[in-house]
Structure 1
């Protein structure tokens, strides 16, 4: 970050990929276990995300300049893993496919009421309203995201049907036919998993469907990298399925469908990284060279996490009743095709 190291051949992504490969997750690599165990113990205290702390942590990352995100995200500002039906697809195409994939799993019907937990800049909420004729309440802890999401709903003429609020998930009241949460669960923290899923169960109608999209660990409980926790995602933690399932079970929710996206986020991050590298001068003008190096290092490390380490993306479909969705998953592809 301070510019005291020069990579003469390639760039920081190549260096981190080399390091990541040598500390990769695998039965043949004991080096990784030795290095990560102390960090796992040290990071446990950083995942207590009470309401006030959660808002402060979110502001640290998501209240940065709007222009920064415009420089590297897709046109709809989807700041989460895209869905690549073909690794050669463009970022915008893959993000559209992600929204369609999620909408298909939600089994939406016109007039339903949807809760979007962690709505970002409003793209998912606006998409669901447009393709399925549903009413959506999107909640966020980012004041900058809230401002833009509301402006987008006004511009689209749907502000009465797609509403956004500055609100913690623990403060939501009422009942919803559908709940969607994309890229927010990484900010909840293991101490709050039971609270999160119980709240979702209470907010979900008896015949409701929930779709949770989150980064996950294939290697079991771990640690948030100390640098990442300090500079990029304070309070953030990527969950293992073994940490999520006990909370889901205690909340009396049915796990109907689980999909594991393995390389999709690597493809997404590589496109973000290339766009950041191309926008170097503009990002330095927005902030400074130190910020640019920090952001580039963050994305390079994230690519390595999905290429070399055990990071994946989980999509969990949850319901309160065992017979809410069809008993075979063919309907997902059929519904998805209709949205293209």
Structure 2
């Protein structure tokens, strides 16, 4: 015997582990062993079933984490049945139990890896293509019709996804006071929803940039269909190569790809591109752990390996510091963590409802990656392990005439 099959497994060890876990927590979990034996972790009907097809797969359970169990699920070493959100809840409960109440593992290794990560145009472009250039139809399976791939804004809490995404875009454009005829740069424009809205409703002249060829092609097509070719330009371009001056700048769900140590330079480029009296907004995901910068139980490790190569999350304090170092002053900060938890929960449900088509488009392995990723992120936002902040900013030390003294204008009260 060789490789994984050479691993000798002691079934008594698994039995002891099951007894230890079930004495601490009751889970709606059924464990099916390679020999046909089934073990329930509570009297409640199981909502999640984990099947170990061979004895060697038990090692993933003995040190459970989202990284280890997620990897085993993605690679087909274990089988998992159940709704994704139930799966994530069970895995995190197992991880908590194994860590004996420790909320977050030691993040020193993760910090060392981040410090060695080099972000350049070639690597960043490859990472973007890996994540976004699956296919446009893949994203259409779970996003809203406008393909807005970022946190929605639920003004009242009961909006459907399409309405909440449109409200998010309007919320951003209202916050930065976009006026007719002004120039707007959208860094990481996705499939073009924000620049199209800024031109149609607010009368702006827009440039949207992306590194994804799929996004670029569809965004250009949408601009043409909307008859906005004279007011909206889509570019396949790195933010570091943009030249000119813009009255307004938006960056929505993009700065997570920049790298923490590169954030001062990133914000410095925004400051350079921004008009003297201009206003910008950075809308992005942050860590809520200033020490480690990692989601607990291996969530960050899983995402870095399978979903977002070279992605990094900074704490909001580090973001504001980097802004200041880059020559920007924060005028307004809003936490939309709850909104992203709801957004991701809807995406997860949509993804599962169209599982058959997703597998046809992307294959079984990528389906499993995204199954875990979407539900895991929804759980992480719900638990305040990660967050989402909109930060309105401008050139440091200026007194922007564009922004009223009160925040009332954001809600139509000025």
CA RMSD of aligned residues (A): 2.0
Counterpart for residue 288 of structure 1: 363
Is the 8 Å Cα contact of residues 122 and 149 (structure 1) preserved in structure 2? yes
Counterpart for residue 184 of structure 1: 254
CA offsets 1:131-160 (integer angstroms, 9 cap, x no match): 111100001111111111111101111112
2:128 is aligned, of 58, 64, 82, to 58
Taking the aligned partners of 1:115 and 1:133, their CA distance within structure 2 comes to 14
CA shift, 1:307, in A, is 1.4
CA offsets 1:146-204 (integer angstroms, 9 cap, x no match): 11111110111111210011111111100000001100011111121111111111110
Taking the aligned partners of 1:144 and 1:67, their CA distance within structure 2 comes to 10
Counterpart for residue 5 of structure 1: 78
Does 2:88 correspond to 1:16? yes
2:150 is aligned, of 80, 85, 93, to 80
Aligned residues: 330
CA offsets 1:72-126 (integer angstroms, 9 cap, x no match): 1001000000011233321111101101110111101110000000000001000
Taking the aligned partners of 2:162 and 2:91, their CA distance within structure 1 comes to 30
Superposition TM-score, scaled by structure 2 size? 0.76
Taking the aligned partners of 2:86 and 2:117, their CA distance within structure 1 comes to 30
CA shift, 1:23, in A, is 6.3
Taking the aligned partners of 2:365 and 2:355, their CA distance within structure 1 comes to 11
Counterpart for residue 161 of structure 2: 91
1:75–1:169 distance in 2 versus 1, CA, 3 Å = same
5+ residue gaps in structure 2?
Answer: 1-73
Is the 8 Å Cα contact of residues 217 and 312 (structure 1) preserved in structure 2? yes
Is the 8 Å Cα contact of residues 186 and 207 (structure 2) preserved in structure 1? yes
Counterpart for residue 137 of structure 2: 67
Does 2:386 correspond to 1:311? yes
5+ residue gaps in structure 1?
Answer: none
Aligned residue runs from structure 1 range 175-214, under 5 A = 175-214=245-284
1:21–1:262 distance in 2 versus 1, CA, 3 Å = farther
1:227–1:45 distance in 2 versus 1, CA, 3 Å = farther
Taking the aligned partners of 1:6 and 1:55, their CA distance within structure 2 comes to 34
Superposition TM-score, scaled by structure 1 size? 0.91
Taking the aligned partners of 1:300 and 1:46, their CA distance within structure 2 comes to 29
Aligned residue runs from structure 1 range 199-278, under 5 A = 199-221=269-291, 222-223=293-294, 225-278=300-353
Is the 8 Å Cα contact of residues 139 and 166 (structure 1) preserved in structure 2? yes
CA shift, 1:239, in A, is 1.6
Higher relative contact order, structure no. (Cα contacts within 8 Å, ≥ 6 residues apart)? 1
2:103 is aligned, of 20, 23, 32, to 32
CA shift, 1:323, in A, is 3.5
Greater C-alpha Rg? 2
Is the 8 Å Cα contact of residues 263 and 306 (structure 1) preserved in structure 2? yes
Does 2:406 correspond to 1:328? yes
